[in-house]
Structure 1
Amino acid sequence: MRTRETYGPPPRTGPESGGPPGPARHRPPPGRRWLTLLVLAGYVALLHHVYQHDVAPLFEYLNLVYRTPDPWNYALVLGMVTLVALAMPQRIGRPSDFVLWILFVMVVTPSIVVPQYADILSTGASVELAAVVAAVFLLVIFGARIGPSWTLRVRGIHVLDVWAIVVVLSLITYAYMAVTAGLSFRLVGLGDVWEIRSAYRDQVVASGPVLGYLVRLQGHVLNPLLLARGLYARRWTMALLGAVGQIPIFAATGFKLTLLSIPAIVLLVLLFRWQNRPRGWTILAGIVGVVVAALVADALLDSLLYTQVFVNRMFLAPGVATAAHVMVFADIPKARWGHSFLRPFVDYPYDQVPDHLVGAVMFGRPQTSANASLFGDGYSNLGYGGVLVEAVVLVLLLWAVDGAARHLPLKVSGAILLVPSIALANVSVFTSILSNGFLYAIVLMACLPAAGWERGGPARPRHRPPAGVSG
């Protein structure tokens, strides 16, 4: 019986082969951690540079103001980031490790360092926020590590039935889009999506929530799965369908992540071809490469487009949003999820949801949705206690992810979880479960077969196995 650290098809060892049990999870030598810290230092320095020289001068009218951080406090919070980085799994051995690294790069590090030089909170409050973020995420890391060894695999589903369900769901999604939001392959610039997003929100209100759920399922889970499986197995038609299928979703919604998921999945596939169990610093190095490429592109084109899209919006904004939620809700009644799943039980005191309330106060724009991760959203709902509540739910979610993907190759579960994990950087854990794809991903992974992901994999069976036998 495999332990909870073993992922992917079991190695050919044991009684059948006469070999020893499967190998234990590999831990890299402590000396290699210096590479993680070196890349992290470059990442933190780049975030600071971009906010000081590119974001603050351009968006000062939105209250994004730069202040010189206090040297001692800044050194203290950099020590907090370092401590969290050292506690992270240095080699990605299971799906939860992959999710943790995405969150560390996109949410945790910005939420700790950005408030130190973004003039939103006082110096003392920004250090307090950094300490809470670091402490809570350390609890998440250790909580994920001690997860149970359960398996959430759904048995008795034939492999052909799984892919038939994927095809049927895809057809339903695009048919429903054609009737409601419309199907279009027209691409607009990444900086020109606001009108499309506004029109899409109006369409969801008019047609009901089904459109939103189907679009998230298709764009966050199913199309990335098709693209990744096509690339791994070198089934180019399947890969093309997964990639091209993202275009009408982007054209209808304006969600940049949907379009950017195509190169992200390709890079992830290349990463897993290089290393079966990548080291965490490779993800951090990849993000540093994205930041540097955006800066170089803007320098060559004499623009700020790529810096705003790929650096400000993806990596600085989560830190700004976390501080903004703390600033706005520090001295007013907390939301207590009365606008959300606790609406029947809680008297919500505001006319706007917390994200729009923060947008109105912080940026002076009531129509702006200042959506935040578990740190900002948790605070706006229940103070720092709310951050702990969402962290506990995140640990349970990571346990479910590991349980559902225990039989799958790590490269497959990583591709399925990539987009939901990135989306989690800007929404609460509760929202991410259903609205941003984590529940879909868990159910899908539990139903998928363990084999057949490589080129020349097992041939399709000529008959269906009896009930109770996994596909």
Structure 2
Amino acid sequence: MHEVYRLIISPQFGYLGEVYRTPSWPYLALSLGLIVCLYFLLPATLGNISDFIAWILSLVLFIPAIAVPQFTGIAAPELSIIVSLTAGVCGIAIVVLLRFPPSNMVPVFPASFAVVQTAIALISIATYVYLLSVSGLALASPNLDDVYAIRDGYRQTVAESGALIGYLVRLQGNVINPLILIRGLYGGPKWLLAVGLIGQWLIYSITGFKTVLLSGFAIFAIALLFRLYGSLRLSTFIGYFAGFSILALVIDKLTASMFLSTVFIYRTLLMPGTLPSAYFDYFSHREFYKWEDSVISFWSSSSNHNSSLSYLIGQYMTGNSEVSANSHLIADGYGNFGFLGVAIELIVLLLILFALASSARGLPLPVICSLSIAPLFALINSSPITSIISNGFLALIICCAVLPRAGWRYSDQPIYGPTHASPSTSVTF
């Protein structure tokens, strides 16, 4: 992380406030100690969905938020170590508490595949008809220039059409299309794979959200890992994760591009660590935002800020009022209510994850791991409070509760449940 940030990200994205500084070695050693503690608390073998959640959030949220503040120049070293300590405490709390999810928190009422597939078809048709009616369609190519132009157009569409389009996009891109892909992989007709991939490309073409493309890749990667190993180990998972990051750097070097490095390394591994520093630095000497633009701002009768929280920080980092800097619970929680805000968002996140684990009981482990990947990655740049509706967690929990428990052609072994390990067998395609 250190060398990539120093040699690639900071020179390329200095205009976005990404400035390297030499780390304070005692603080860096302390942050590395926190990462080591977090690593040894993680389950060594994937046994249930809670283990998978702990792995993902540690790799793409907590470890970056611990390490990266020590070598970014956004905040002073004395403040950066506070960011790292806060992230470390939150990460350890999540990893430890996820070991004890309440098994019956959410009732499950599995439906037949016919009912589920009919509902998915109706929702998808209605969503695409509405999206195309308000935004039109021009298929995009995956380069950064197109992404920014598409996003500008999408923001204008949301401003003109209202928030409904945003909710539909997240529902379709984070839950429905991944479910179509997953069914195509595990027991359904293979043409569903094409339907799911085309659907994700349509969402990307309308919104410019690269995460919808990443989720498709991640679903196939997870399926391949289960196919190769059956029971996954943390060391194997980290090895593949690191290997793909290195491969992204090599491909970008050979093609004189920054696309893969931007998507897989900057936005996934480094930005979750740089933005908390900006939030802590900005609000270390200013009044907290207090969720003024949220439905929970019941204690404030009027806004004390002339912009949303993410745009305040975006302007603070870049000087450009059009830049949005959404971030995760550590940054967003602190910006809204200091350490109390972090604690509140941590509790909300824990309740969401408990509900997800409970609703998924009885589902094959490859299915629920693949289905949860997009909403989990969305937590990199959004608060848990926002993610309940906007990033599809509520829809995901409902979906898990109604999905059939059998018929996925997983194996002849007992299927996964929340209180016991999944079988060490491969998926039958």
AA aligned opposite 1:59: F
Counterpart of 1:242?
Answer: 196
Counterpart of 1:28?
Answer: none
The residue correspondences of 1:286-301 to structure 2 (distance < 5 A) are 286-301=240-255
Tell me, yes or no, if structure 1 residue 207 matches structure 2 residue 154.
no
Contact 1:378 1:389 in 2 (8 A): yes
AA aligned opposite 1:173: T
Contact 2:110 2:405 in 1 (8 A): no
Structure 2, unpaired ranges of 5+: 413-429
Tell me, yes or no, if structure 1 residue 183 matches structure 2 residue 142.
no
The residue correspondences of 1:322-341 to structure 2 (distance < 5 A) are 322-341=276-295
> What displacement does 1:91 show?
1.8
Mapped to 2, the partners of 1:86 and 1:280 lie a distance apart of 10
The residue correspondences of 1:216-231 to structure 2 (distance < 5 A) are 216-231=170-185
Counterpart of 2:416?
Answer: none
Mapped to 2, the partners of 1:295 and 1:130 lie a distance apart of 26
> What displacement does 1:449 show?
0.4
| CA separation of 1:138 and 1:264: change in aligned 2, threshold 3 A | same
Residue of 380, 387, 392 corresponding to 1:437: 392
- Deviations 1:218-269, CA, capped at 9 Å, x for gaps: 1111111111121122621111111111111110000011122222111111
- Deviations 1:298-344, CA, capped at 9 Å, x for gaps: 22123333322321122111111111111111111111112112234
> What displacement does 1:371 show?
0.6
AA aligned opposite 2:195: L
AA aligned opposite 2:374: V
| CA separation of 1:99 and 1:156: change in aligned 2, threshold 3 A | closer
Contact 2:140 2:146 in 1 (8 A): no
Contact 1:230 1:239 in 2 (8 A): yes
CA RMSD for the aligned pairs?
1.8
Tell me, yes or no, if structure 1 residue 364 matches structure 2 residue 316.
no
Contact 1:334 1:381 in 2 (8 A): yes
AA aligned opposite 2:58: F
Contact 2:105 2:354 in 1 (8 A): no
Greater displacement, 416-425 / 228-237: 228-237
Counterpart of 1:63?
Answer: 17
Tell me, yes or no, if structure 1 residue 399 matches structure 2 residue 354.
yes
Counterpart of 2:103?
Answer: 149
Counterpart of 2:70?
Answer: 116
Mapped to 2, the partners of 1:410 and 1:220 lie a distance apart of 18
Greater displacement, 261-270 / 231-240: 231-240
| CA separation of 1:295 and 1:151: change in aligned 2, threshold 3 A | same
Contact 2:180 2:195 in 1 (8 A): yes
Contact 2:35 2:63 in 1 (8 A): yes
Greater displacement, 202-211 / 320-329: 202-211
Counterpart of 1:460?
Answer: none
| CA separation of 1:277 and 1:387: change in aligned 2, threshold 3 A | farther
Count of matched residue positions in the alignment of Structure 1 and Structure 2: 411
- Deviations 1:191-223, CA, capped at 9 Å, x for gaps: 531111111111112112221111111111111
AA aligned opposite 2:244: V
> What displacement does 1:68 show?
1.2
Mapped to 2, the partners of 1:61 and 1:422 lie a distance apart of 25
Residue of 295, 306, 309 corresponding to 1:354: 309
Q: Which has the larger radius of gyration?
A: 1
Tell me, yes or no, if structure 1 residue 381 matches structure 2 residue 336.
yes
Contact 1:356 1:368 in 2 (8 A): yes
Mapped to 1, the partners of 2:27 and 2:280 lie a distance apart of 19
- Deviations 1:376-408, CA, capped at 9 Å, x for gaps: 001001112211111111111111011100011
> What displacement does 1:142 show?
1.9
Counterpart of 1:17?
Answer: none
Q: Which runs of 4+ in 1 moved over 4 A?
A: none
Contact 1:92 1:278 in 2 (8 A): yes
Contact 1:140 1:392 in 2 (8 A): no
> What displacement does 1:190 show?
4.1
Tell me, yes or no, if structure 1 residue 409 matches structure 2 residue 364.
yes
Aligned residues with identical type, % of pairs? 37
| CA separation of 1:332 and 1:455: change in aligned 2, threshold 3 A | closer
Mapped to 1, the partners of 2:176 and 2:37 lie a distance apart of 36
Structure 1, unpaired ranges of 5+: 1-46, 458-471
Counterpart secondary structure, 1:434:
coil
Tell me, yes or no, if structure 1 residue 308 matches structure 2 residue 236.
no
Counterpart secondary structure, 1:192:
helix
Mapped to 1, the partners of 2:103 and 2:20 lie a distance apart of 47
Counterpart of 1:285?
Answer: 239
Counterpart of 2:415?
Answer: none
Contact 1:373 1:424 in 2 (8 A): yes
Counterpart secondary structure, 1:289:
helix
Mapped to 1, the partners of 2:263 and 2:108 lie a distance apart of 39
The residue correspondences of 1:440-455 to structure 2 (distance < 5 A) are 440-454=395-409
Contact 1:151 1:406 in 2 (8 A): no
Mapped to 2, the partners of 1:186 and 1:118 lie a distance apart of 33
Mapped to 1, the partners of 2:145 and 2:361 lie a distance apart of 39
> What displacement does 1:188 show?
4.2
Mapped to 1, the partners of 2:166 and 2:200 lie a distance apart of 15
Mapped to 2, the partners of 1:273 and 1:191 lie a distance apart of 36
Counterpart of 1:126?
Answer: 80
AA aligned opposite 1:331: H
Tell me, yes or no, if structure 1 residue 317 matches structure 2 residue 271.
yes
AA aligned opposite 2:97: G
- Deviations 1:332-376, CA, capped at 9 Å, x for gaps: 111111211223432431011111000111111111111110010
TM-score (norm 1): 0.84
Counterpart of 1:88?
Answer: 42
Contact 1:120 1:323 in 2 (8 A): yes
